């Protein structure tokens, strides 16, 4: 049975390793001394455990946490009785439920505010001389006209792009990744689908994508609900069928 548990744990670590690696972005460096392979492996497990605990967003007594881990590993009798464990679990679940409800309310409030900001911006932006507005509500500026073909809805394209929120916060950029993105036209948000079928190869457009042509009220990583998205897009190539894809994060 222990071998089965070990296999499950190792599999989980393999899939979640990218999340652990993001800890390299922390400002303060660790003071841990890892001079053996066992120490390194233990540290890896601890990183993943710590990341999971942090994601709960609850107050943690690290001394009590460490004691619990040591008790489990040493197979000691828990410091809390079964009744105390059950009561504590129920209390914690109640706190987490309330926290989740607060977060949901905050997200809904932010989403409503974002929608108002998007509508106000689009109304003003549409009056600019160089801005084109389509029937769907998409707005764009032709930065540079292309001279090649225009992709169909069934085509696969290669593009360079940068995406920002209305306040200028960048959430994605193929330029910063150092490689163009490749994806089927039908595989991206509606605003992109429409825009790509207006562009010719070689064209550069600036897109103003309303929330209902992007992700709507559903938040995405780095993109709050009902966000208006601004993209700088350069259509580089229409790819032959069956060519492998280097997909971007704007896939639906």
Q: Active-site residue numbers?
A: 161, 171-172, 189, 215, 231
User: Is the Cβ–Cβ distance between 251 and 188 less than 8 Å?
Assistant: yes
CA distances from 100 to 81, 94, 107 (A): 28, 10, 10
Asked if 149 and 238 count as a contact pair (C-beta separation under 8 A), the reply is: yes
- C-alpha–C-alpha distance, residues 69 and 53, integer Å: 13
Which token pair is 210?
Answer: 């309303």
Q: What spatial distance separates the first Cα and last Cα of the chain, rounded to whole Å?
A: 41
Q: Which residues contact 64 (CB under 8 A, 6 or more apart)?
A: none
Cα dist from 239 to 158, 173, 195, whole Å: 7, 20, 17
Q: Which two tokens stand for residue 147?
A: 């001279």
Spatial distance between the Cα atoms of 116 and 87, rounded to a whole number of angstroms: 44
Phi-psi domain of 127 (left: phi exceeds 0; alpha: psi -120 through 50; beta: other): alpha
Return the structure tokens found at 211: 């929330």
Please check whether residue 164 is in contact with residue 230, taking contact to mean a CB–CB distance below 8 angstroms: yes
């Amino acid at each position: 049975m222990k071998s089965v548990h070990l296999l499950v744990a190792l599999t989980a670590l393999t899939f979640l390793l990218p999340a652990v690696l993001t800890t390299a972005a922390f400002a303060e460096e660790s003071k841990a001394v890892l001079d053996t392979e066992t120490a390194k492996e233990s540290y890896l497990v601890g990183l993943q455990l710590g990341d999971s605990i942090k994601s709960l967003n609850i107050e943690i007594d690290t001394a009590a946490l460490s004691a619990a881990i040591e008790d489990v590993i040493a197979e000691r009798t828990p410091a809390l009785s079964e009744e105390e464990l059950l009561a504590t679990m129920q209390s914690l679940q109640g706190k987490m439920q309330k926290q989740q409800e607060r977060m949901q309310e905050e997200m809904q409030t932010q989403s409503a505010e974002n929608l108002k900001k998007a509508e106000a911006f689009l109304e003003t932006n549409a009056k600019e001389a160089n801005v084109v507005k389509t029937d769907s509500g998409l707005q764009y500026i032709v930065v540079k006209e292309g001279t090649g073909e225009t992709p169909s809805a069934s085509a696969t394209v290669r593009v360079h792009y940068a995406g920002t929120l209305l306040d200028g916060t960048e959430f994605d950029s193929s330029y910063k990744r150092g490689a163009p993105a490749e994806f089927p036209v039908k595989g991206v948000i509606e605003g992109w689908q429409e825009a790509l079928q207006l562009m010719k190869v070689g064209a550069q457009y600036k897109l103003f994508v309303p929330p209902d042509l992007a992700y709507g009220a559903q938040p995405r990583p780095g993109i709050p609900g009902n966000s208006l998205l601004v993209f700088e897009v350069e259509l580089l190539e229409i790819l032959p069928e069956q060519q492998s894809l280097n997909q971007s994060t704007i896939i639906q």
